[in-house]
Amino acid sequence: MFRLLSIEFHKLKNSKSSKILSIIYFVLFCFIALFASIRFNFGSIDFRVADQGIFNFPYIWHFNTYFLAFLKLFLAIVIVSMMSSEYTNRTLKQNLIDGLSKEEFILSKFYSILVFALASTILVFLVSMVLGLIFSDYDEIDIIFSEMEYLPAYFVKLTGFFSLCMFFGILLKRSAFALGFLFLLWIFEGIIQLVVRFQAKSLDFIVDFLPLQSMSNLIVEPITKLSTIKSAASQINPGFEKDYDVSWFGMLIVVVWTLIFVYGSYNLLKRRDL
């Protein structure tokens, strides 16, 4: 495993675009968190995002994992290009000739996906911890470490998404096509959801099994959970009730998708003549 990781890391380390994108990703990550703590002064309006209660433990775990997950697109580009550049430079062929098996090739990519997802999860943890300790109104130990299931959910979500990127990268061999296809899949899932919602209510359960939707289901939007907005919402609609918890079944769906994408990538590679 370490041999494969060191092979993959050697490739990433020496690729300028991957390096720059990864750095942008991790810098932006910290920047966004910092941004929230800036105090805005527009004449009479004195506003600070951090004072709105979003950095209270344990709410911060939910809030940060939800919003920082959008940045995964940067890493998605890195992953797609690390797959497709192997095709365009024909280095995949050379790797195989040099004695890497197809299985090892896919595994080396998947391991680096796991490392990326893990690094990002650790960063989310650290950033949230620091922001929380600075701004949170509650700082009792058992409150700080409660509701942390959003972190494993975040990890599973990223791993699933990156596996999907890897699969598209292998399937289409060109980064631009793969990213375009990702966008198409997103639109396609949107259409299915609309159709199901308005035309075939009984098929509603299908929606939760779509790859992108199942990933986004893992961490439900945290906005309406915020106390100020929650009270407003319950005035408009007294019956407003939403489940914000991470569902284990939802996690399982994403894990199964991840396995399908990894195995699918392997199978594609195995069947193809290079």
Partner 1 sequence: METILKIDELTKKFGNLVAVDRLSFEIEKGNVYGILGPNGSGKSTTLGMVLNVVNKTSGNFSWFNGNKQTHEALKKVGAIIESPNFYPSMSAEDNLKLVCKIKGVDYSKIDEKLEIVNLLDRKKHSFKSYSLGMKQRLAIASALLNDPEILILDEPTNGLDPQGIHQIREIIKNIAADGMTILLASHLLDEVEKVCSHVVVIRNGVKLYSGLVDQMNATHGFFEVKSNDRIKLEDFLSNHPKIEKFTELEDNLYKAFLDSPYDSQKFNEEAFAKGVIFSHLVQRKDSLEEQFLQLTNQK
Please state, in angstroms and rounded to a whole number, the distance separating the CA atoms of residues 151 and 126. Answer: 11
CA 49 to chain centre: 23
Return d(Cα 222, Cα 271) in angstroms, integer.
44
The tokens for 44 are: 């009479």
Residue 268 CB, nearest approach to partner 1 (Å): 12
CB of 18 vs partner 1, minimal distance in Å: 10
| Of 95 and 217, CB closest to partner 1 | 95
Q: How far is the CB of 54 from partner 1 (least distance, A)?
A: 41
Q: To the nearest whole angstrom, how small is the minimum distance from the Cβ of residue 241 to partner 1? A: 54
C-beta closer to partner 1: residue 207 or 269: 269
DSSP code, position 49: G
With tokens 């096509």, the residue in question is: 177
Among residues 41 and 101, whose Cβ is nearest to partner 1? 101
**Which of 48, 272 has the CB closer to partner 1?**
272
Nearest distance from C-beta of residue 98 to partner 1, angstroms: 5
Name which of 92 and 210 has its Cβ closer to partner 1: 92
Q: Are 118 and 155 in contact (CB under 8 A)?
A: yes
Amino acid (1-letter code) at residue 143: I
Task: Kindly report the number of other CB atoms within 10 A of residue 64's CB atom.
Answer: 27
Residue holding tokens 């990127």?
165
- What is the residue type of 139? D
Q: Is 45 helix (H, G, I), strand (E, B) or coil?
A: strand
Q: Which residues bind partner 1 (CB under 8 A)?
A: 3, 6-7, 10-11, 14-16, 89-91, 93-102, 104, 270-274
